[in-house]
Amino acid sequence: MVELKTDTSIDAMYEAGQVVARALTAVREAADVGVSLLELDDVAREVLRAADASSPFLGYRPSFAPTAFPAVLCTSVNDAIVHGIPTRYRLRDGDLLSADFGAKLGGWVGDSAISFTVGRPRPADLRLIETAERALAAGIEAAVVGNRIGDIAHAIGTVCRAAGYGIPDGFGGHGIGRHMHEDPGVPNEGRPGRGLPLRPGMVLAIEPMLIAGGTDGYHAAPDGWTLKTNDGSRAAHAEHTVAITESGPRILTERR
């Protein structure tokens, strides 16, 4: 069932989204050669503590997971697409890092992700990240009253495929509100004019995931959480929490 949020609820979700935005900004600023992924998780935890917010990631255990997620931040490096668990791994020059973070504040959840390079960037990585951001922007632009879920999916998929990148099948965006994952699902590829109509009060986490090698295959790492590309190529992930309103899409996790 899709819950339509009131304007007051969307304003409250914006406050949760701004905790997410501050955390991702802090993580990006702290990420450098030699910094460990666990240290970045500590940075994100400090933002939660300062905001008196909690983590929807920590302790989360969906049906596919062998264990509960042990961190507040997902850190996916290089050929990891999403759901990377922070470890003692220290970032190296040229690494591509995707950071995904959520916060719960006042009973409402925000969720967002960014991808960026550490140290000297590879031009191919910059193109991949820029395309992920363009795909996200296209999906958000399609998130308007009168469109359907398929219009968002088609907008994202068109940008990704035109650039020659793969899209991991079965993973995409989702509804969000009092819980991190709510109805409806938001695929990263689809047919326009299909799927659930978009209505004022719907709030969606829109999140394209791109595989640089152009293939769609992925597999779970031994930790049971991290999804990695089958071809060993790099991946990028971009995400915002977006409210559907009469005046257009409102990005609740926008970073200032």
- 54-84, pLDDT tens digit by residue? 999 999 999 889 999 999 999 999 999 999 9
- 217-235, pLDDT tens digit by residue? 999 999 999 999 999 999 9
Three-state secondary-structure class, residue 16: helix
If phi over 0 gives left and psi between -120 and 50 gives alpha, with beta otherwise, what is residue 167? beta
DSSP E strands, 13-141: 73-77, 80-82, 96-105, 108-117
The answer for residues whose C-beta is within 8 angstroms of residue 194's C-beta and 6 or more apart is 148, 149, 150
What residues are paired with 77 via a beta bridge? Answer: 97
Asked if 173 contacts 186 with a C-beta cutoff of 8 angstroms, the reply is: yes
Determine the Cα–Cα distance for residues 99 and 82; give it in Å rounded to an integer. Answer: 8
- 2-16, pLDDT tens digit by residue? 999 999 999 999 999
Report whether pLDDT(106) > 90.
yes
What residues are paired with 82 via a beta bridge? Answer: 227
- Give mean pLDDT, residues 101-128: 98
Asked if 184 contacts 244 with a C-beta cutoff of 8 angstroms, the reply is: no
- Give mean pLDDT, residues 230-251: 98
- 7-59, pLDDT tens digit by residue? 999 999 999 999 999 999 999 999 999 999 999 999 999 999 999 999 999 99
- 150-193, pLDDT tens digit by residue? 999 999 999 999 999 999 999 999 999 999 999 999 999 999 99
Q: Quick check: pTM over 0.75?
A: yes
